[in-house]
Amino acid sequence: MRLDKDLEIVDGLPFLYVKSLDALVCSDVHLGYEGVMAGKGVFVPKVNLKRIKEMTKKAVLLTGAKTMIVDGDIKNEFSEVHIEEFNEFREFMRYLAEDLHVTRAVLVKGNHDNFIERLKPGVKFESFSEEALLGRYLFFHGDELPASKKGSVLIMGHLHPSIAIYDKLGVKEKLRCFLYGKLPKGRELIVLPAANYFAEGVDTLREDCGEIAPIFKDFADVGDMRALCIGEGETLDFGTIRELRSI
């Protein structure tokens, strides 16, 4: 789904493609999730990295992107670097470079990405601790407000947006979505859905988004945002959150 001349959502995937940067953007990958869960006593078969790889491959094939931007929370644990995170991170970076020939990897640090520097030895990537201004785009994770006033399009993650809708017989369906809309003063905002397989997402129709992502507290009204949902192999425009909430 094309958003404007330069921006496109890769159909059916939680990836944004920025033409001028020749970059794919995703967020909230949470590598090492299963290992961290095992540490909490839950056996979760390893699926996430496999799925992330499959999705990335598809997105690279469709766009030919040479740059990969992860807009925060590439890993899962707050307080340490789990061995599984370390292994999966390296595997993902190797896969990007060697199998998909992505030449540039950019990480914007999220709230889960502490100690990410420890992952550096032997792996080539650029990391930004708060936000990254690339071209007219300001990338930040979203757990805090961006400091920079620059950039005409703000791109964040963190919220794990989704919408829960009900069919005629009352069965609930939860769909991950991009949020896309205007901010005051003409800037644009894009909120990326979580790429992590296990993150079902926050129901933006019913939960207080401002509590999770401060940008929706005072700066922007989530009701103005359009929900662009990830369907099967396509992206579907469900209209604005306000409209959806009024049903």
Binding footprint of other proteins on the chain (CB under 8 A): 34-35, 37-47, 50, 84, 87, 166-172, 197-200, 206-207
Indicate the residue among 152 and 166 with the shorter CB distance to other proteins.
166
> Hey, which residues does 173 pair with through a beta bridge?
165
- In the complex, minimum distance from the CB of residue 143 to other proteins, in angstroms, rounded to a whole number: 19
Distance CA 103, CA 51 (A): 21
Distance CA 57, CA 101 (A): 10
Measured in whole angstroms, the distance separating CA 108 from the mean position of its chain's CA atoms is 11
Indicate the residue among 51 and 104 with the shorter CB distance to other proteins.
51
Indicate the residue among 50 and 120 with the shorter CB distance to other proteins.
50
- In the complex, minimum distance from the CB of residue 166 to other proteins, in angstroms, rounded to a whole number: 4
Burial of 129 (0-12, 13-18, 19+ CB in 10 A): exposed
- In the complex, minimum distance from the CB of residue 114 to other proteins, in angstroms, rounded to a whole number: 21
Distance CA 225, CA 189 (A): 9
- In the complex, minimum distance from the CB of residue 55 to other proteins, in angstroms, rounded to a whole number: 15
Indicate the residue among 106 and 163 with the shorter CB distance to other proteins.
163
- In the complex, minimum distance from the CB of residue 37 to other proteins, in angstroms, rounded to a whole number: 8
Measured in whole angstroms, the distance separating CA 103 from the mean position of its chain's CA atoms is 20
Residue 183: what residue type?
L
**Residues 209 and 165 sit within 8 Å (Cβ to Cβ):** no
Indicate the residue among 30 and 109 with the shorter CB distance to other proteins.
30
